[in-house]
């Protein structure tokens, strides 16, 4: 697909039921324009009144998911990658590890410092995973959806890390596939934006995870825990406040700038006046950006004293001998 033009259909059909529990009790959680990529239409989030699951409704079509995969995206900080890898320490000594997502090569490069003997492999539909394989960052690169490849990879991995569950077409099918490729007693490492975060409630459409078009599903902790239990996995460690990323106010400000002065994109070029206006708005936002950064740091101290932040991270084990949960 050529990224220089929008696909004819970004979104599929709206659904009347919750993709996690099947409930018909849905409410609109957020409704806004695309503040990240400037795409057409509205980004609507529905919330299930029964299980609390929040999901894009309508969600991206297969064509839409492929389109957004081709666009530039923020890089995960190395500190976050290191924290993800460290969560496994003390629980297992892995030999074969599958990371799901476009940053599999970067994650492997960071995690290998802690786990030098592990054979890291990656799976993703985008070309990034193949490039990581060619660079030698991955022992093997599997291009495609995890669900499509699960049959050929069945029972192969000690650990599967799944940090892109929010962007999955179906979270339940993705979890099924992750379980299938695990060995008995294998480990599943996940990170999910927390839809119960107070930042999402206060910032509304300007909360980063809500605004990101690629993000399709936001599972409350208890909903994910129930889905894992139904698949024979038990959570042995969970980080809630400690997994918080202190960027909420900074991202909200960037989204507000995009709202006031939309960026130039390939499918909607901006003239000289529009470019000058955006430059002015961005320039005026610089002092506010420093305040937002300081505010995020201050709030981080407050969040770490509480129960939850904007993200949670869990480590779960497959099989009856799952060990204690700290």
What is the CATH number for 240?
3.40.50.150
Specify if 270 maps to a domain: no
Domain count, the chain: 1
Residue 311 counted as domain residue: yes
User: For 228-246, how does the pLDDT look when each residue is reduced to its tens digit (9 = 90+)?
Assistant: 999 999 999 999 888 999 9
Residue with tokens 């809630």: 240
Read off the pTM.
0.90
Q: Assess if residue 257 is contained within a domain.
A: no
Query: How far is C-alpha 63 from the geometric centre of its chain's CA atoms?
Result: 19
| 110 located within any domain | yes
- Token pair belonging to 50: 């029964």
Assess if residue 162 is contained within a domain: yes
Structure tokens given for 70:
């081709």
The whole-number average pLDDT for the span 123-149 is 93
Residue of 99, 123, 100, 101 whose CA lies nearest to 111:
99
User: Pseudo-torsion of CA 127, 129, 130, 132, nearest 10°?
Assistant: 120
The answer on pLDDT for 2 being more than 70 is no
pLDDT digits (tens, 9 = 90+) for 152-193: 999 999 999 999 999 998 999 999 999 999 999 999 999 999
Residue whose C-alpha is closest to residue 168's, from 6, 53, 52: 53
Quickly list DSSP for 31-68: EEE-TTT--SSEEEEEEETTT--EEESSPBPHHHHHHH
Instruction: Report if residue 157 sits inside a domain.
Output: yes
pLDDT digits (tens, 9 = 90+) for 51-87: 999 999 999 998 888 888 877 777 888 999 999 999 9
Q: Considering the domain boundaries, does residue 160 fall inside one? A: yes
Range of the domain at 140: 78-246+305-318
| 175 lies in some domain | yes
């Amino acid at each position: 697909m050529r990224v220089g033009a929008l696909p004819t259909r970004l979104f599929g059909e709206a659904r009347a039921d919750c993709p996690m529990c099947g409930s018909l009790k849905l409410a609109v959680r957020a409704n806004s324009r695309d503040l990240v990529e400037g795409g057409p239409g509205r980004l609507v989030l529905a919330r299930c009144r029964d299980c609390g699951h929040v999901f894009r409704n309508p969600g991206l079509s297969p064509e839409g998911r492929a389109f957004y995969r081709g666009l530039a995206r923020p890089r995960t900080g190395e500190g976050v990658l290191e924290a993800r890898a460290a969560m496994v320490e003390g629980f297992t000594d892995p030999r074969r590890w599958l990371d799901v997502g476009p940053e599999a090569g970067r994650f492997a490069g960071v995690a290998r410092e802690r786990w030098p003997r592990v054979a890291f492999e990656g799976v993703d539909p985008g070309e990034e995973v193949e490039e990581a394989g060619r660079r030698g960052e991955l022992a093997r690169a599997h291009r495609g959806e995890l669900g499509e490849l699960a049959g050929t990879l069945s029972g192969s991995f000690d650990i599967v890390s799944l940090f892109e569950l929010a962007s999955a077409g179906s979270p339940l099918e993705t979890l099924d596939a992750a379980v299938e490729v695990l060995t008995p007693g294998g480990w599943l490492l996940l990170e999910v934006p927390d839809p119960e975060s107070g930042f999402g409630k206060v910032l509304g459409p300007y909360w980063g995870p809500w605004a990101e078009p690629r993000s399709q599903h936001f599972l409350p902790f208890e909903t994910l825990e129930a889905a894992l239990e139904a698949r024979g996995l038990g959570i042995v460690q969970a980080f809630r406040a400690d997994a918080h990323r202190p960027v909420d106010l900074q991202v909200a400000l960037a989204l507000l700038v995009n709202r006031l002065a939309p960026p130039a994109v390939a499918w909607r070029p901006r003239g000289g006046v529009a470019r000058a206006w955006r430059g002015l708005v961005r320039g005026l936002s610089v002092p506010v950006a420093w305040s937002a950064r300081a505010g995020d740091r201050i709030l981080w101290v407050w969040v770490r004293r509480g129960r939850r932040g904007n993200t949670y991270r869990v480590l779960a084990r497959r099989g009856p001998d799952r060990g204690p949960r700290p």
